[in-house]
Structure 1
């Protein structure tokens, strides 16, 4: 061999890197100790040779040429090189000095202080001790279906822990999104039919603003229904282990936010000068928390000494606390809906729990009364003032006037009234209510947009003072070929989302004197997708903390928040009107974003202050990070940030994100790409009526019908 290939043992080394030949000296390759080349040339690792005897290395020759040039000259040219890829190759070859230089180059663009949109950081809380009280009951235990009597106020240890004002260097640092359009899965179980009746009036838009809490996900139709699949995954969800510090859900109302972990919740409040302060930590809850709600505006006195309320649910049980401004808590009670709670929210001071099987539970703050009523299976809901509107499986929209509850109560009846019935009797899978501004000439017009399981989107309109006449059908859109999962009617736009990779259609809305108009009518302005490879968790609802939106008040700019893969430190913020990118949120510490919430905090008492919109991100390490969405939107409007026409991840960004997600893993799935796929596997989507969804274990090449 020495006579056949004499240069192998000499000072010149011939290499074949990915089919490209290189020649260099042994001294050049070995001047850095303990590298890939020192091990290769000393025989510590085996080598392959091509037909000429050159050592074959199966790597990228373009990047190797840059590394070889560095070994020769101690210099490097980064003008046409992606630093991340080059660092990966340098790490493979063990070129330590080059790796250190490239890491420093990358650090120039990264900081634990975040970018211009980073607003603050709340560190992980302390895990509370186990509480032997009523909240420790598991999902299997039997609890009284009625209210537990108020207990004496309990003081939370360390409730006034101070957190520095955001924008400082310390690491410790609305769009009141609406409850609207949460698509609960349509159940095939039958329930008692509802009483029908004429449409009723609604309150002014100004009155309804205080009642809009953080919007729940109307894409729940695409999510796993734990009630039906619990046995498949081994029984009671409450008995499973969950990471105690992984943020599961974030909800907000006014200046308060509540953060739900697996077995406890934490509340923070915002003060003008001191920033966010920790106010309340719940006791340890034995079962896994699945839903959470907060009401931060009860008026003077509130419930007893409490001025705020926080509620959680696990399985069929609901636990409610009253919280004072200083962090003292009152255990208001534990209630039972008798079926799994899928939606939990406040309308004014009244706590509402819904189940898609057709049960509604209401707790009234004035009477301290808990009441349950059976209705037909519920597929979606929205709130408008004191009204709760229900989109149901039978194709009807019903409403309950919560302001008159329990005054209108008759024989323990919530007086559910039918408002409208879809012409095709399709299940109403998404609903959005818009109240026009009240004028001196007329009251509020009620405008309702809704979507159905067949993909139809309709707009209906009613004047609240028109007694005896229901809403009139105004417009119909049939562009979606898959079930509609979200719909939002605002002052300027109508936005709908279907289950084909969250495909969005947007129309501009024409208005005359504040009311929707047929002249010239709605105009289509955008069509795009909010791709999300969603995580299906049988125990804690992924949908509850990762709803993509749209978020925003109906008279303001609305946005989608796109989380492409389950385990990622990045979120893409996109305009709901056209899908263009506003900004990219990147965790300052590189941790996985496990949940998020968009919320608008009201302006402070200072002169000239205005409401500011924030994105709160919860992370796998238990921390909360805050991002200034108002600044991002302002910079976009001023043209200081160039928006991408394709607002989601580019092909290169998507590939990087997919590197973090194992598509063959059953915990990564996507909404179905075809309208009616078959059910696949034990974790398949629930199929009810003519709605079908697929829990894919990998991305498949389906040729779906386009929207």
Structure 2
């Protein structure tokens, strides 16, 4: 039936101005009245029926609307009766339709439904927040210092001044089948708007948390051009000790070392910059700061960390720089191109591109200053000469009967995981190859050897393989030493154009070698949700949702010293956000609840299952011996479900492509 567009008076309740409207929604015909569709002002239907919006009609004359007819049935029923039927429909899905049609009263009701299961105070594991700092002052244009930031130790006054674009470090490409490769395809569909942004817009978000590092009771938070140092008190509060002045160049790496003497803590904080310089500061509990110096290796810095009180900088091009606190000396030396590293006690182990494994003993460093030689010694060489891409060193406890066993797990560029051992009786000789696993098809980018498990992660979408480790008197058993446990993926869509350093925000494993290690899965760089999983089995421990609807841009897992805090050692997750704040989550409580819910105990994770030909056969005997409920093998990995994955990606797409549709609940009521 042909009809004329409704006039402005047609939107009144006058029954004389009403008429029948036929709608073709996704191929299904709906018949209703003009007054039913237009009683909510400024909606999709008022624009459609008033002629302000172009419409398409099918052969029968019905107005075509390309939406889901099942969801539209609920929408139309609400317009008729002002009642909402949620049977079999997700609230967020229906809210998305209500936003499209501009139905403000329905949006308000659905927002309240979402509030039933969400809170700005976070979940039960949320235990605190470090508020965003004020922006420090910019450096003066006539500053002649060689340092990229002021050496003034006092806290500077704050001012939200305009930030300059100094660029950001580029990330090297990786091998095929990596998460980065998938990101290229996903970003083509989800981030067209982001691609249209200029480079400075992506590189100069000065209040976004980019890196977090922690040691004992010290937390260092890095932003694009300045860093903040916090002290954790015995009451789990966070005191700002020092905020650096604004640097001229991009902050590329941070490191911290804390030393506690009696009841006073002092810390060394190292910061490297895009211009390949390293600044080092000493900060006490009162916030008094002393600048130790500015150092450079004249090459790009790829890693910055401490071994004890010695600051170490590494360059993949093959250079090591060390600053020793006792002698206050800085020394740099050329070595083989470095592909990975690990530390154990006073030892620094370097994995090299030529397949060699080199060793530096930090305790002997001061005695060799006159020789200007770090005495880098070759500890081991891969039998096939493959590039060593990851390292994990485990020192067994020293006993009265024997000294430390040195156990080293390393991964190669060809996907091989090797385990080598050195007995105390063979000190001075090279370690011997104990076990070898050719189970990955891509380079092994991370490996972890701890008291209970051997875990490897390759670059094929963070594919994880794990083994149970059997030990006798703390030393790895030789009959056999490891038994296969699990195989799963930790999918992350790494950004190919974000400036955040992936070195600080990889999935893990995280945690000390004598505790349960975890994996942190962030699906996309701007996600507001993290999935916390057991590193050994991949089972989900909990999910972490940002309490301020701000994207999680950085994270760090840290175990706070129980003696310092007057309680047992506890594991925390520090999440840096796009608004500059840092949210703190209690992973120890999450682990306790996980084991309580599943009827297990952390010590049960060390029980070794019998060998099996496949994962299903391996898991069944474990379940038969455990009081835990049966695990669905198809979902055994514990990662996000396909629906959760799509929800996270869709949320990011909505934020990028439809900025007018706010996810903030308060915006829906305006």
Q: Give the TM interval when normalised to the shorter protein.
A: 0.7 to 0.9
Pairwise mapping of residues 2-401 of structure 1 onto structure 2 (< 5 A)? 11-131=19-139, 137=147, 154-157=153-156, 242-273=204-235, 275-297=237-259, 299=261, 307-314=266-273, 315-401=275-361
- Find the counterpart in structure 2 of residue 471 from structure 1: 431
Give the superposition deviation at 1:635: 0.5
Give the superposition deviation at 1:33: 2.5
CA distance in 2, matches of 1:527, 1:56: 49
Q: Is the 8 A contact 1:156 1:329 kept in 2?
A: no
Structure 2 CA distance for partners of 1:395 and 1:186, relative to 1, 3 Å: farther
Give the superposition deviation at 1:361: 0.3
Structure 2 CA distance for partners of 1:241 and 1:75, relative to 1, 3 Å: closer
Q: Deviations over 1:559-604 (max 9, x none)?
A: 1111111111111111111111111111101111111100010115
Q: Is the 8 A contact 1:301 1:307 kept in 2?
A: no
Q: Indicate yes or no: 2:639 matched with 1:648.
A: yes
CA distance in 1, matches of 2:585, 2:146: 35
- Find the counterpart in structure 2 of residue 618 from structure 1: 576
Give the superposition deviation at 1:39: 2.6
- Find the counterpart in structure 2 of residue 599 from structure 1: 558
Pairwise mapping of residues 418-497 of structure 1 onto structure 2 (< 5 A)? 418-497=378-457
Structure 1 moving runs of 4+ over 4 Å: 1-4, 131-139, 184-187, 218-224, 237-241, 298-302, 604-607, 640-644, 660-663
Q: Bigger CA drift: 101-110 or 124-133?
A: 124-133
Q: Is the 8 A contact 1:501 1:530 kept in 2?
A: yes
Q: Is the 8 A contact 1:137 1:287 kept in 2?
A: no
Give the superposition deviation at 1:44: 2.8
Pairwise mapping of residues 561-600 of structure 1 onto structure 2 (< 5 A)? 561-600=520-559
| 3-state SS of 2:367 partner | coil
Q: Is the 8 A contact 1:460 1:474 kept in 2?
A: yes
CA distance in 1, matches of 2:429, 2:462: 35
CA distance in 2, matches of 1:500, 1:76: 45
Q: Is the 8 A contact 2:355 2:382 kept in 1?
A: yes
CA distance in 2, matches of 1:220, 1:350: 34
CA distance in 1, matches of 2:181, 2:87: 48
Give the superposition deviation at 1:45: 2.2
Q: Is the 8 A contact 1:454 1:483 kept in 2?
A: yes
Q: Is the 8 A contact 1:247 1:261 kept in 2?
A: yes
Structure 2 CA distance for partners of 1:220 and 1:344, relative to 1, 3 Å: farther
Q: Compare relative contact order (CA 8 Å, sep 6+) and give the higher one, 1 or 2.
A: 1
Q: Deviations over 1:620-654 (max 9, x none)?
A: 11111111111111110111799962322211111
Q: Is the 8 A contact 1:83 1:102 kept in 2?
A: yes
Q: Is the 8 A contact 2:147 2:294 kept in 1?
A: no
Structure 2 CA distance for partners of 1:340 and 1:388, relative to 1, 3 Å: same
Structure 2 CA distance for partners of 1:62 and 1:519, relative to 1, 3 Å: same
Give the superposition deviation at 1:46: 2.8
Q: Indicate yes or no: 2:370 matched with 1:415.
A: no
Equivalences, count: 579
Q: Deviations over 1:381-413 (max 9, x none)?
A: 000000000011111111100011121446200
Q: Bigger CA drift: 30-39 or 11-20?
A: 30-39
| 3-state SS of 1:125 partner | coil
Q: Is the 8 A contact 2:489 2:637 kept in 1?
A: no
Match of 2:363 among 377, 388, 403: 403
| 3-state SS of 2:426 partner | coil
Q: Deviations over 1:399-445 (max 9, x none)?
A: 10001112144620001111111100111110000111222211111
CA distance in 1, matches of 2:297, 2:131: 35
Give the superposition deviation at 1:465: 4.2
- Find the counterpart in structure 2 of residue 681 from structure 1: none
CA distance in 2, matches of 1:496, 1:459: 12
TM-score of the pair, normalised by structure 2 = 0.81
TM-score of the pair, normalised by structure 1 = 0.77
Give the superposition deviation at 1:48: 2.0
CA distance in 2, matches of 1:621, 1:518: 51
Structure 2 CA distance for partners of 1:285 and 1:653, relative to 1, 3 Å: same
Q: Is the 8 A contact 2:236 2:565 kept in 1?
A: no
Q: Bigger CA drift: 44-53 or 507-516?
A: 44-53
Give the superposition deviation at 1:2: 5.1
- Find the counterpart in structure 2 of residue 165 from structure 1: none
Structure 2 CA distance for partners of 1:402 and 1:186, relative to 1, 3 Å: farther
CA distance in 2, matches of 1:537, 1:383: 31
- Find the counterpart in structure 2 of residue 195 from structure 1: none
